Amino acid sequence: MTDTSQISKLLNLDNDSRSDLHKYIELRFIREVELLISTKYKEQVFRCPVHLSVGQEAVAVGVSWNLTKSDKVISTHRSHAHYLAKGGNLFKMFAELLGSSAGCCGGRGGSMHIFDKSVGFIASIPIVGSSLPISSGLAMAEKLVGSTNVVVAFVGDASLETGAFYETLNLASLKQLPLLVVIEDNGYSTYANKSVRVSAARKSRSLIEGFGIKFLSGNGDNLDEVIEVTREATEIVRHGAPAVVEFSTFRLLEHCGPNNDDSLGYRSSGEIESYKQRDPLIPYFERIESPEKTRLDDLISDYVAGQFQRAFDTVKIEYEKFQENFRP
């Protein structure tokens, strides 16, 4: 689960509660992080490519809702939400994106390579499809030691266009690996609509069931549905069989970078407007009955900004040292 304990403390909330309020806090927390990155990115603060998850938060939160700390997650280039939802450390993530040695990979990886074993977030692998083979090995190791841990591989819909996807499915089915593949279908690969990449006749369900693997799907905009579908899927996997779940979702911003991409014309303004109607945060905000409701967003936003400032101050000192020591 997302580490929102500091926010809970500020609100005097029981951090273990799994109320609608908590669901909203997790979603909002991740949203605020991504929006802050988007804002600061334009100021040239983060000097690495970023793939933001604005709009896709519910899948990350809902899947990890069913995971324990010892379960393992592997992700892709778009991994901020997955990392935070698995309990990742926001300061270490900001520091990583800023190129600081205090980052979760010491600044070696940047946004596209988030590794943090301490929270079971094994790696993010930004070559599409490439995380899946690795996930099969992680899962085989869990099976060999007889654990009930689940290995979750988050992938985008374009991974179904790679050979690695099918090689891994066969391997997972053959060896009955405790692997849960979570497909986030946002309908796009970079700036291309799926319709130019994938035959309209292709059906993920029959492809995956063809390997003898259980396939489930759901609406990725609806956190409760993601939680329920993933609960069923993780049950299957904890009993020793692989499963695949597919969630429809959307990304509000461009493929890589901090901006809206309305001007590019590959998706209509109507389409983007319809996404805004689907925003996964709205229903949970409406359900909140807490007296804190009015200041909730500000409080989360302030907390995120505070963590950013800590990381920024850290990297500022490093930069000063770098300037002192740099000899061309």
Partner 1 sequence: MRYSFTESIKMALDHTLQDNKSVMLFGLGVGDVGGVFGTTIGLQDKYGASRVFDIPLSENAVTGMALGLAIQGYRPIMVQQRSDFSFTSAEQIINQISKTKYMSNDEYEVPVVIRMIVGRGWGQGPTHAQAPHAIYSHIPGLRVVAPSSPSDGYNLLRGAVESSDPVIFIEHRWLHQTIEEFEPKSESFEIEKAKVLVSGSDISLISLSYGVLECIKLAKVLSQFGTSCEVVNLRSIKPLDKSTLLESASKTKNVLFWDIGHRDFGISSEVTRVLHSELFSRLEKPILSFGLPNEPTPSSPFLASNHYVELDRALLEINHHFDLGHSPEELQDSRQRLFPYKSLLRDQPDIGEVGPF
Q: Which residues are at the interface with partner 1 (CB under 8 A)?
A: 104-106, 108-109, 113, 115, 117, 122-123, 125, 127, 130, 132-142, 144, 163-164, 167-168, 170-171, 174
Q: 144 or 201, CB closer to partner 1?
A: 144
Q: 170 or 269, CB closer to partner 1?
A: 170
Q: 181 is written with which tokens?
A: 């593949």
Q: 122 or 226, CB closer to partner 1?
A: 122
Q: 112 or 253, CB closer to partner 1?
A: 112
Min dist. Cβ of residue 138 to partner 1 (A): 4
Min dist. Cβ of residue 169 to partner 1 (A): 9
Environment class of 214 (CB within 10 Å of its CB; exposed 0-12, middle 13-18, buried 19+): middle
The DSSP secondary structure of 52-101, one letter per residue, reads --TT-HHHHHHHHTT--TTSEEEE-SS-HHHHHHTT--HHHHHHHHTT-T
What's the maximum distance between 2 C-alpha atoms anywhere in the chain?
61
Torsion 234-236-237-238 (CA) sign: positive
DSSP class of 125: -
Q: 56 or 131, CB closer to partner 1?
A: 131
Q: 38 or 76, CB closer to partner 1?
A: 76
Min dist. Cβ of residue 116 to partner 1 (A): 9
* CA 58 to chain CA centroid, nearest Å: 9
CA atoms within 13 A on the CB side of 47: 6
Residue 148 CA to residue 79 CA, distance in Å, equals 24
DSSP class of 258: S
Min dist. Cβ of residue 240 to partner 1 (A): 14
Min dist. Cβ of residue 79 to partner 1 (A): 13
Residue-level length of the chain: 328
Min dist. Cβ of residue 10 to partner 1 (A): 31
